[in-house]
Amino acid sequence: VQTSNATGTGNGVFVGSVSLTTNYTGTAYQLKDATRGGQYTTTLANKTSGKGTLYSKTTNSWGSGAASNGESAAVDAQYGAAVTWDFYKNTFGRSGIRGDGVGAYSRVHYGSNYVNAFWDDSCFCMTYGDGASNTHPLTELDVSGHEMSHGVTSNTAGLNYSGESGGLNEATSDIFGTLVEFYANLPKDNPDYLIGELIDINGNGTPLRYMDKPSKDGASADYWSSTVGNKDVHYSSGVANHFFYLLAEGSGAKTVNGVSYNSPTYNGAAVTGIGRAKAAQVWYRALTVYMTSTTNYKAARTATLNAAKDLYGSGSTEYNAVAAAWTGVNVS
Ligand code: ASN
Ligand code: ZN
Ligand code: CA
């Protein structure tokens, strides 16, 4: 079968109008991207198992923007995988989740009223539910980046998904999910340090998590304590999410892309940020070179300091900012 790359147009629920690289078989277009490791998107049509059915049609325009059009969530998923691919490739030189040039596939319309999305190492695939009343798909970009980054973590540090290492695993996904959102910089999904701000998972318009002050969700930890590892990993992650925010943006009042934040520190001392780009390099190098399955918060401080030393030098402004940001979340 002869196939070629084509350029389609998509209208997603959350990504809005975007361009998609698709595959033309000679008779049909497929939601499959040979320029990014062959990544493709299928529909599970409300089932909860199997690879699903590849999106395929005779025109190359996909979705309407409305969740009621089933293709719209597929556009979000396929675009989310594409941007996550481009983010890792162009920011870190990483080719795919395993770094082997192979793309992961995505499945949408999992089950019914399923309010979650998840990465699965065994299928090397991404899955999205349709949310409450099957009208709130979980296909926002920071969720895509979050879930696929779980695959990066399991193929690198392998942080155990419980205790403090579990919090670091979750935070790694929030950090890179957020950086994917900034990388895409879409008009319909203004980049921020909030997680899942568009999917209305709480039913009252609030985001799932806040990186500048994680306790705003009512459960996450802003600062390390000796019992933080007893919390659910989605709450113990707050310490590292807060660290990353402080490292990138600094403490106190700040507006980024029109969104206002006010990030506190444990000791009250001000932290000056080094910017997202440098903070991203520090976290990625720490994750891929220094962290292991059992890394805890104290060891994460050491891992990121080692990464900053490699990248910017011991005693550099960046190195000192890493130390100050950890001290700001009570990790010393
Ligand atoms: N969406 C959840 C997460 O990535 C799925 C899970 O509990 N692992 O954290
Ligand atoms: Zn997660
Ligand atoms: Ca966000």
Structural domains of the chain, with CATH: 4-139 (3.10.170.10), 163-328 (1.10.390.10)
Residue 171 is predicted with a pLDDT of 99
Q: Cα of 144 to ligand 1 centre, how many Å?
A: 11
Q: Cα of 27 to ligand 2 centre, how many Å?
A: 39
What is the percentage of the chain residues whose pLDDT exceeds 70?
99
Ligand nearest to the Cα of 171, by number: 2
Q: What would the pLDDT profile of 276-291 be if each residue is shown by its tens digit?
A: 999 999 999 999 999 9
118 lines ligand 1 (CB under 6 A): yes
Q: What would the pLDDT profile of 158-182 be if each residue is shown by its tens digit?
A: 999 999 999 999 999 999 999 999 9
Average pLDDT on 68-82 reads 98
282 lines ligand 1 (CB under 6 A): no
ipTM: 0.95
161 lines ligand 1 (CB under 6 A): no
pLDDT above 80: residue 126: yes
Residue 200 is predicted with a pLDDT of 96
Nearest CA to ligand 1 atom 2: 118
Residue 2 is predicted with a pLDDT of 65
Q: Which residues of 178-324 form beta strands (DSSP E)?
A: 194-195, 209-210, 252-256, 259-263
Q: Which residues of 25-101 form beta strands (DSSP E)?
A: 29-30, 32-33, 39-43, 53-54, 56-57, 61-62
| Mean pLDDT computed over every residue of the chain | 98
pTM over 0.90: yes
Residue 11 is predicted with a pLDDT of 98
